[in-house]
Structure formats: structure tokens, C-alpha cells
Structure 1
Amino acid sequence: MTDTRPVATWLTDMDGVLVHEEDAIPGAAEFLQRLTESGCKFLVLTNNSIYTPRDLRARLAESGLDVPEDRIWTSALATAQFLSDQRPNGSAYVVGEAGITTALHQVGYVLTRSRPDYVVLGETRTYSFEAITTAIQLIVNGARFIATNPDPTGPSPAGPLPATGSVAALITRATGVEPYFVGKPNPLMMRNALNRIEGHSETTVMIGDRMDTDVVSGMEAGLRTILVLTGSTRREDVERFPYRPTRVVDSIADLVDEVVPPPPEEE
């Protein structure tokens, strides 16, 4: 890195940076091993709200990647943290799966369809028309609208699948109410991640594969950003954006040798 302050903390996206579907990207295992051996603080971030950190740890392990459960930060966890800060011990009606329902339970939220404080829209592979209808009715009756992330589609072996952002647009069209999106590109997710591991923006790098989520949220949170070309954004796409990453590299493998033990903390 060309900045004067050494990197002490690393944040990295998961899909497109460490894995493609169920396959590890070359260099990812070595990068994670170097992080662990060096003693650097790090978190793996994902906008996917379907799975719990335990589920994601198992998924990564099947790909040959060793990431402790407490080193995984999801949009579901960020959403639960946000709601707990805003309205402690509140209530929510959730459209989503175990990732978001578990996170909300852990912060003391009650899940109900009886006059909830919030409607929380997460990601699921089986969106129910009945559940979406209930969400619309609750929002019309005054529930606040929260969504875990704005991603319009998600990947699958057969092609793109509708994701949280697309369903949020449907609900907004029906209610006239825009959701508050907690996940990337909201820099709130980055700041919560930094707080979780006591990192500092001046000495933290965010690695991602998308200009419109990973890079912009890292930049807006004051972090150095590295774009890898193993995911969504191609090299020729970078110039189309009004902002730039700190660096562009081919893959996570190019960063293995840059992970060094963090400098001692000043007293």
C-alpha cells in the first residue's frame, strides 16, 4: 500500500473475492492464513442475509477456507445492531430466513405480525406472496420499513435470482414507502464492522469486487479500498464510475505478501 500508515485491519467481501459459489478463489486460503498468522484483525463481510455466521463458516470450510464464526459480519447482523440501537427490545415482522431472524432474536427483538415496530425485509430463495402481502399491509398501517441490503439480484448456477432490492422495489411501489437499507453500500455497515473489531479507518483496507457496493461504502467510511477483478466489476468498468478505488488488482492472491503484523499500539 502506498499510504504512509501501515495497514492494521482488513475487511473483505466474501462472494467474488474469496469464493465463487462453492469454489474458493485461488489465493484466498493463503490470504486468510496470512491474516491469522500475522495477528491482524479482520472481518469477512457479506450482504447475504440468508445465513447465520455459523452457516457461512461451514460453507467456507467446505470450500477449504478457514474463517472463525466471529470473523464473519453479515447485513443481517448489521441490521439487527442498527435496530437495537434505534429501538431496543422492539418488534418486527420479518420476510427472510434464519440469518436475519436469528440476528434479531439475539438482540432481544420479538418477531410478530401484530403491530410490529418494523417490517424487515431480508433475502430468501423462496419469497412468499402471502408474506409480501402481509408486509405491505403492515407498512401501510404504520410499520417502519427496513431492508437488509439493496442488491437487486443474486447469483445462482442457472443465472440471476431476484434479491432483496427487487422485492423492496415491489413493496415500495405498493406502499409509497422507501426502505432504509442497512447493508452495503451504506457505510454504516463498515463502521459497525470497524467497531466490532476495534479498528480505525486510517489503518483499514476494504477489499471487494463491486464498485457500487464494496468500494463506495469503504470510501465513504474513510477506508482505503482495493478492487479485485475476480467478481462483478471488470477493469474496463472502473472508469465509468465517478469515484475510484485506492488500487485495482487481479485477485486476492496479489495481496498475500502485503499482510504483515500490525504495528504495536501507541500507549
Structure 2
Amino acid sequence: MKDAFGTPQSLLVLGGTSEIALATARRLVARRTRTVWLAGRPSPALDEAAAGLRALGADTRTVPFDALDPGAHAETLGKLFTEGDIDMVLLAFGILGDQARDEDDPMSAVRVAQTNYTGAVSASLVCARALQSQGHGSLVVLSSAAGERARRADFIYGSSKAGLDAFTQGLGDALHGTGVHVMIVRPGFVRSKMTAGLAEAPMATTPGAVAQAIETGLRRRSETVWVPGTLRVVMSALRHVPRPVFRRLPV
């Protein structure tokens, strides 16, 4: 169960090598979180991430998980919940893709959509059902500010996050009153390995800043978290810009 400050004692990370997820896990372990499952494709990076959390004092285990294999999600994730209650699930997997390449290779575009949307829908529903059965817990889903309005520069990635964002909002409504807290996190450009080499967008943030915002959102039981917070106003304005004008903006 969560403590009086809203800190989960147990955490399941879907996307166990995500820089944002690991920054979040480190913050939570420094508070009260004692058990962590890192779910992801088996790799040295996943093992290294687990070792780092163990060094901070958390009982950390790795779990084989593939977003592109939704047929295995119910068995793999469901089994974890039979071992004991999980206070928080952090869905942090996703790929950025390469817009120019993906436009020329539809199967690459499909992989972005399947990872960011289809895989996330499957994993979210499995975890939501388990959280509802235990009667408590938080499902935190990493969306993106890119999902607020599709841009020419990244509409494949942006549309996949738009779908995920809409799905998560609906799931949160469906679970309202069940004891399960659903929170959407919408970061802007995050300085990370995934964005290395890309031109930095205005109001860029860091994995650590996103982690801090997630922790605050958990404590407040927020439903939507923007990182940085000023993005809420900026994206609200961009959402209402007429399309002919939006096409000419350097966004």
C-alpha cells in the first residue's frame, strides 16, 4: 500500500530501461518504495538498471516483457500481481522512430504505432484489471506533448501518442471510483538517449524533472501532468491555431 504521503511501496515499470522511468524509480526508492519490477526485453542494460536500484536498497527483479507481443501480456503481467499487490504501474516504453524513413517504409511506421499504441493499450488493460481487482494503486502512463496536435515533423510518432493519450483518459474515466488512480504525463522534448542528435525544442526538460513531476502528481493524485507546466498553456494555444497558419509555424 502507499504510505501517508502517497509514495508506493511497490512499483512495476513497463519499459525498464527508460531514462524517465529509472529516474522516477530512483526518486521513489529514496522515499519509501522497496520492491521494484523492471519489465523489458532481456539485455545487459536491463540488468544494469536493476543492479543500480538494488544498490539503493530496493528489492529489484527483472521481468521479460515485449510491447510487440501483446498475446503474452496477460500471462506475464498477470503473474506478477498474483505474487502480491503492486501499488504503482509506470508505463514508460515507446519509440520515437524516424519520420522521414518511416514515411518511406510503412512497416517501420506500423512498428512505431504498434509499440506506442497497441502494445500500450494491451499492457494498460491487463494492469488496470489487476489494479481494480486489488482495489487500489496508480497507473501512470507516459504520453507526450507531441500528441496534442500532429506536426509535419513527427506526425507518425505524434499520432501514436495522441491515440495513447485519448485511450488513457477514457480508461481513467472507466476506473473512476474504483480506487485506481490513472495519471497521464505529457512531457515536451526530453534530453535523453532517445533524442540525442535531434534539434532541441523550446522548453526542453530532463528525465529528472519529469520524475519529480510524476512524484508530485502521485502525491496530489493528479490526472494530467505537463512537464514543464508551462506547456499546458502553450499547447492549448497551438491546438486552436487555424490549420493554414499552423502549417507555416516552425514547430
Structure having the higher helix fraction is: 2
Larger relative CO (CA 8 A, sep 6+): 1 or 2? 1
The alignment's TM-score, normalised by the length of structure 2, stands at: 0.40
